[in-house]
Amino acid sequence: MAELNAKILIVYGDEAVRESLTTLMEREGFRILQANNGRMGLDVIRTTLPDLMLVEIKTSDVDGINLLRAAKGLNPNLLIIAITAYRDSYSAARALDAGAHAYLEKPLPIREVTRVVRQALSKPK
């Protein structure tokens, strides 16, 4: 996948964090779509087919693991990077089992987010 043309969906409840991630990814040359909750994120996936989704596991309206599974059901090729504030191996394992490509813990180091996104997009599908 040509990462420069990649569409990234950011599903994050906190507007300030969502906007910060948007700014970061736009500076890297990606096209950005946003959703402030899981249901809205699924609607975006249905209509625009993003290449990658950055998603907060604890969304306000949908369990994060169910959201990952539903997103993969809509688009099996969707790359998913799960974000959480909880540092436990059980949550990480559940996210990866549900289809996440990677799992990032808050606080989000800017270089790490960029590295993981580029790495995911550079892998052949």
Decide: 68 and 80 in contact? Cβ < 8 Å. Answer: yes
**At 125, is the pLDDT very low, low, confident or very high (cuts 50, 70, 90)?**
low
First vs last Cα of the chain: how many Å apart? 8
Question: What pLDDT does 60 receive?
Answer: 63
DSSP string, 49-61: --SEEEEESB-SS
Question: What does the pLDDT look like over 77-100, one tens digit per residue?
Answer: 999 999 987 777 777 888 888 889
pTM as predicted: 0.91
**Residue-range domains of the chain with CATH:** 3-122 (3.40.50.2300)
pLDDT at 76 over 60: yes
Show Cβ contacts of residue 106 under 8 Å, excluding neighbours closer than 6 positions: 83, 84, 85
pLDDT at 3 over 70: no
Question: What does the pLDDT look like over 4-56, one tens digit per residue?
Answer: 689 999 999 999 999 999 999 999 999 999 999 999 999 999 999 999 999 98
Question: What pLDDT does 63 receive?
Answer: 80
